[in-house]
Amino acid sequence: MADILTWQDVLNYARHANPEPERRVEKTDAAWKEVLAPDVYQVTRQQATERPFSSTMCSLFEAGQYECAACGNLLFDAREKFDSGTGWPSFTQPVKINAIAYREDKSHGMQRIETICNVCDSHLGHVFPDGPAPSGLRYCMNALALKKVKT
């Protein structure tokens, strides 16, 4: 596989087998509720979607990295962030191929690819094939599922 993920790579992962994570974090639902803020829990553990344009993270383009708000798994680098105009933070590539897992999502009468933290299975958002070159991917993330860390 190439260093840059493509839409075909994403579809293959969603339909067959995701890349192996470097580690796993597993907790009971009660344990997640204890450690996550209610809005973060709702997005990451119950697959909720925050309102578009509800986070200042959409317009934040300073250097740094983004990790999973639930487990701290490193997900994205700010160099891959772009303004998609959708109201959610958007990225073109994960920081590592095995940072994110994918699954087909046929909810709400749509066919989409859900993105999940590959370490703790937290819902992050969705990925679409309408992003900028060279990958053409748009990782449309819930800001509540991400934690910005300085590098």
CATH code of the domain in which 114 resides: 2.170.150.20
Count, in order, helices (H) and strands (E) of the chain.
Answer: 3, 9
Active-site residue, from 68, 71, 117, 140: 140
Contacts of 107 (CB under 8 A, 6+ apart): none
Of the chain, the percentage scoring pLDDT greater than 90 comes to 88
Q: Kindly report whether the peptide bond that precedes residue 94 is cis, defined as omega within 30 degrees of 0.
A: no
The reply to whether 2 falls in a domain is no
Return the DSSP state at 18: P
Q: Given a cut of 50, is residue 42 above it in pLDDT?
A: yes
The reply to whether 52 falls in a domain is yes
Residue type for position 146: L
- 71 has catalytic annotation: no
pTM to 2 decimal places: 0.93
The reply to whether 140 falls in a domain is yes
Please report which confidence band the pLDDT of residue 3 belongs to, taking 50, 70 and 90 as the band edges: confident
Residues of the domain holding 131: 7-149
